[in-house]
Amino acid sequence: EVQLVESGGGLVQPGGSLRLSCAASGFTFSSYEMNWVRQAPGKGLEWVSYISSSGSTIYYADSVKGRFTISRDNAKNSLYLQMNSLRAEDTAVYYCARFNLAANDYWGQGTLVTVSS
Amino acid sequence: IQLTQSPSSLSASVGDRVTITCRASQGISSYLAWYQQKPGKAPKLLIYAASTLQSGVPSRFSGSGSGTDFTLTISSLQPEDFATYYCQQLNSYPPITFGQGTRLEIK
């Protein structure tokens, strides 16, 4: 059974940092591209970042470019999102999602990041 | 590429046939996916490649379209179908973009 489990969310002050993790199981993690997608409270879905299966290709949304860093450790079946210089508008539930069949076919349950003083 | 869904919200009854539209600001071939999201839950993939039903998704869901105009149809609404639906384009990225969502409510 495919499982994606996010962790690392919490309350952080503006300007602070947080590192999210996504633990993958039930599939060959190293064979799949991955995404981070977020959803602000009461709002729609917003794509945040993409990483290829090897980690050699990475993309970011303009809203997070220069502040967030996506990475993966295929040996540990884990995906990460390092978030620096956090702003109030980064407050959201962050989902990791597997990229397959030109879609995100499996999603984690999400982890809430709240940026507030 | 911007995606515009219509309507933004919709009231319907159990058994109704419902259609949601997603229009892309430029052609995206068939690289469009549809998701269903219920409150407090992660999105669930329904349709990929515009018209291919994801495994395990009921056959009352169908998708069509190519280029710039796409539709998601639910042939006979069931109580569990009341949710928010999103389209997503993966033809040209970055960025990967989502529509703004369509909230389907019980009439």
pLDDT tens-digit profile of A39-90? 999 999 999 999 999 999 999 999 999 999 999 999 999 999 999 999 999 9
Bridge partners of residue B89, in order along the sequence: B32, B97
A-B C-beta contacts closer than 8 Å: 63
CB nearest A105 (choices: B45, B96, B100)? B45
Average pLDDT of the segment spanning B73-96: 94
Amino acid in the structure at residue B18: V
Phi, psi of B94, deg, nearest 5:
-80, 160
> Which pLDDT score is estimated for B93?
85
Share of chain A above pLDDT 90, in %: 97
Q: Inspect the interface and report whether the beta carbons of A35 and B101 lie closer than 8 Å.
A: no
Q: Inspect the interface and report whether the beta carbons of B98 and A50 lie closer than 8 Å.
A: no
Tokens, residue A44: 């729609």
Mention every residue, 6+ apart, whose C-beta is less than 8 A from residue A108. A4, A5, A6, A22, A95, A96, A97, B42
Residues A107 and B33 sit within 8 Å (Cβ to Cβ): no
Tokens, residue A73: 């450790």
Q: Inspect the interface and report whether the beta carbons of B101 and A45 lie closer than 8 Å.
A: yes
CA B92 to chain CA mean position, Å: 19
Question: Beta-carbon neighbour count of residue B106 at 10 Å?
Answer: 11
Residue A41 forms contact with B (CB below 8 Å): no
Tell whether the model's pLDDT for residue A115 goes beyond 90.
yes
